[in-house]
Amino acid sequence: MASPQQDDSSRKTPSNPSADYVRYSGIGVQFAATMGFFAYIGYRIDLWLGLLTVFPVFLIAGVFLGMALGIYRLKLQFDTPKSDRESES
């Protein structure tokens, strides 16, 4: 059985709810902006090549590329320990 001292050290300190709200809102905006940027680039390429009325292949590719990069950025941000994030800012 674990001693009470070990239980106290394993508990996480409560974080500031408003700081978490701002952090997660920023992550959501960054994800949406990444998807929107690559979708817009794909739209412009389709428009330039005249593919928009036939099949918007670059628009669709841009959306998926933006989603993949957004998920990758999310993974990087959530895998970074909190102490490393605080030292960067």
pLDDT tens, the chain, 89 aa long:
555 555 555 555 567 888 888 888 999 999 999 999 999 999 999 999 999 889 999 999 999 999 999 999 999 988 877 666 566 65
Please tell me the pTM assigned to this model: 0.69
Cα separation, 72 vs 78, in Å, equals 10
Where are the domains positioned within the chain? 27-79
Instruction: Identify the CA nearest to 86 among candidates 1, 12, 19.
Output: 19
Residues in the chain: 89
Place of tokens 């979708």: 39
Nearest CA among 64, 73, 62 for reference residue 31 = 73
